Amino acid sequence: AKKAGRNCFAIYTEALSRQLDERMEMESELRQALSKQEFALFYQPKICLKSGKTIGSEALLRWIHPSKGIISPLKFIPLAEECGLIVEIGKWVIGEACKMAVRWNQVGEHKVAINLSAKQFQSETLVADVKSMMEATGCHPDWIELEITESLLLEDDVDVLHTLKQFRDAGISIAIDDFGTGYSSLSYLAKYPIDTLKIDRSFINSIQTDPQRAGLVKAIFSIARCLNQSVVAEGVETQDQLDFLTDLDCEYAQGYLFSMPVNAESLEQNKEWPAVV
Ligand code: C2E
Ligand code: CA
Ligand code: CA
Ligand code: CA
């Protein structure tokens, strides 16, 4: 028994050290990914349900790894946050998204949504960084929107409020991402300058099978109307889900039913949106 125990331990430490090796390797590769230009933004169209038109898109980060292929942000963003790289990567995202917003708004109205991680939001230079990227690219504040998560509002922090107010003053709109998964109170929703609520995919998922969740989605629409906020339904995958949302007068939706996130070139080919020449 003792021997087996020792073997188990050996296997365990071996697995653990392999995990650590992989992590360190990924971290050092991540440090170089920016200069090697291995990042790319994909864009998922946001659809106005009344007109069926693409009115904007969400920029979603991808790491095009030379040997591992396309790596999901879910895999490397937590690591980038831990080692502080997220601020620099985030700046690249903001600059790239602004550049595309400028390009696309020459052709039609198209708001590009940019995801900000909590760490990035807490960076003291965030507002200045966004403004300088907009200036450098000639991006108008109406052409972008910032997506932040609900957990930021929980901190009831004067800095969070101050940062949001600075964006509001600059004319940049703010969306609350994954809405419904955190526990933000109604008073926070009224207190912070928020333009859009994005209902989390998990609610849309079970909208037809779970009457309680469907009820909550209805309640979210009422709250948003009271607060003069617009609502985007995320992760719409089926026609039935879309029908349900249309019955609730949902204005905007995103999801695989309409399109997967695609590269910029493919987005420009989107027939519901004027082509870029
Ligand atoms: P998110 O902001 O909630 O983005 C939505 C995620 O759901 C995306 O995954 C998108 O591809 C996926 N999705 C869209 N429609 C559907 C659908 O109909 N069904 C299903 N099952 N999934 C759908 P993705 O691109 O892997 O991104 C994952 C998360 O990584 C994002 O979640 C966001 O939190 C983070 N992320 C992505 N890009 C950035 C970025 O530039 N900066 C930061 N800080 N975070 C980012
Ligand atoms: Ca998002
Ligand atoms: Ca989301
Ligand atoms: Ca999410």
pTM of the model: 0.93
Residue whose CB lies within 8 A of the most ligand 1 atoms, among 34, 115, 241, for a mutation test: 115
Q: Which of 4-8, 78-82, 171-175 bottoms out in mean pLDDT, i.e. has the lowest?
A: 4-8
Q: Which ligand is nearest to the CA of 200?
A: 3
Q: Which residues, listed in sequence order, are joined to residue 68 by a DSSP beta bridge?
A: none
Q: Separation of 44 CA from ligand 1 center, angstroms?
A: 9
Tell me the CA distances in angstroms from 79 to 29, 34, 65, 107, 244, one per residue in order.
11, 15, 15, 37, 38
pLDDT at 222: 94
Residue of 45, 47, 44, 136 whose CA lies nearest to 98: 136
Q: Separation of 56 CA from ligand 2 center, angstroms?
A: 13
pLDDT at 127: 97
CA-proximal residue: ligand 1, atom 19 (nearest): 235
CA-proximal residue: ligand 1, atom 21 (nearest): 235
Question: ipTM of this complex > 0.95?
Answer: yes
pLDDT at 7: 72
- DSSP character at residue 182: S
Q: Separation of 60 CA from ligand 1 center, angstroms?
A: 6
CA-proximal residue: ligand 1, atom 41 (nearest): 61
Task: Mark 211-235 as b/e (b = at least 16 C-beta within 10 Å).
Answer: eebbeebeebbebbeeeebebbbbb
Q: What is the pLDDT of residues 179-211, one digit of tens each?
A: 988 877 788 888 899 999 999 999 999 998 999
Ligand 1 atom closest to 234 (CA): 15
pLDDT over threshold 90, residue 273: no
Band (93; pLDDT cuts 50, 70, 90): very high
Q: What is the pLDDT of residues 123-175, one digit of tens each?
A: 999 999 999 999 999 999 999 999 999 888 877 678 899 999 999 999 999 99
Question: Tokens representing 262?
Answer: 């695609």
Q: Separation of 167 CA from ligand 2 center, angstroms?
A: 18
Band (2; pLDDT cuts 50, 70, 90): low
* Cβ 232 vs Cβ 201: under 8 Å: no
